[in-house]
Amino acid sequence: MTSYEFTCPDCQRSITVTDPMRAATLANGCPVCGRSVTEGNFAL
């Protein structure tokens, strides 16, 4: 399973996520602060 490094553009928190968590974060926003995020907030 692929892992991504997610960095929130608002709260600046960085976490490593897998594909299901990446999809959930794109749909629901940052798991820390709730801000909407885009594909550009994830790096391999």
Mean pLDDT of the region 1-11: 96
29, 13 in Cβ contact below 8 A?
Answer: no
Report field, pTM of the whole predicted structure over 0.85: yes
- What is the total count of domains within the chain? 1
pLDDT number for residue 1? 85
9 domain-assigned? yes
pLDDT for 11-40, tens place per residue? 999 999 999 999 999 999 999 999 999 999
Residue 4's DSSP bridge partners are 17
The answer to whether position 37 is within a domain reads no
Residue 34 domain-assigned (yes or no):
no
